[in-house]
Amino acid sequence: MSKAKEIIESIRSITEARVPDFTKPVDKKDFESFAKKYKRDHEFHRYVQDAGKGKVALSKGKAKDLVGTYKVFTSGKAEEDYYKQVESGLNSQIKEAIKAASISSGVRPSGIKYDVNIGDESSSVTVKFKGEELELDAGYFIDPYTDEFHVSAMEGASSWDWMALLGDEDSPWYDSDWISSYVDTEKAHYAAEVFDLDSQADLNDKLSKFLKDAVYEDLKT
């Protein structure tokens, strides 16, 4: 099963879970404290209306927008697409690299196989030929649970009101399922931007040597 398909399976329970009711009234004092925090960045008061008894509620239009944003991340579609980019990109790179190495080494790679591996922390490609294996690193992923990542993510709350509304723990509309999905999506986004095998020259040297050595070892048996 590909990494992209695994992502869809792992988030199915979240996708099928309830979508929060963002029109539900919240405590006005909590909202005022939150709005004050972002007074230089967002005009949150224009999105709310008095709901009586010391409460306010988001307008139907803004609540609808948040539902859309919520689903974009918790559906897993964006995360899946990013991992598909990694898989597709690595498949293309290794195919071309094997062709080039075959020419430079003079070895016909009949029966050669490779696997694209995308783990939780890194990606790699395993090449198999005549009983021998070669592991090629393809990049390490950002750890989304570091303080640095959290600071970077929350800086986005100053630019995007949906990030502040859904992702800031001080927000009356903060949602832990959403922020978890957001973090995982950003991790996949970063992976899609940084994946890469070695430089063309280094990759060709490694694969050429691997092909020659594999043939040599095969002849010895």
Tell me the per-residue pLDDT of 10-60, one tens digit each, with 9 for 90 and over. Answer: 554 555 457 899 999 999 999 999 999 999 999 999 999 999 999 999 999
pLDDT by residue (tens digit) across 49-100?
Answer: 999 999 999 999 999 999 999 999 999 888 899 989 999 999 999 999 999 9
Given this model, what pLDDT does residue 220 score?
77
| CA angle (172 as vertex; 168, 174 as ends), nearest 5 | 40
Q: In terms of residue numbers, what domain contains 185?
A: 3-220
Cβ-based neighbour number of residue 210 at 10 Å: 22
What does DSSP say about strands 113-118 and 48-52: parallel, antiparallel, or unpaired?
unpaired
The pTM score is 0.76
Using DSSP's 3-state secondary structure scheme, residue 48 falls into strand
- Count of structural domains, the chain: 1
Does the pLDDT value for residue 181 go beyond 70?
yes
- DSSP-derived secondary structure letter, 53: T
* Cα 3 from Cα 84, distance rounded (Å): 8
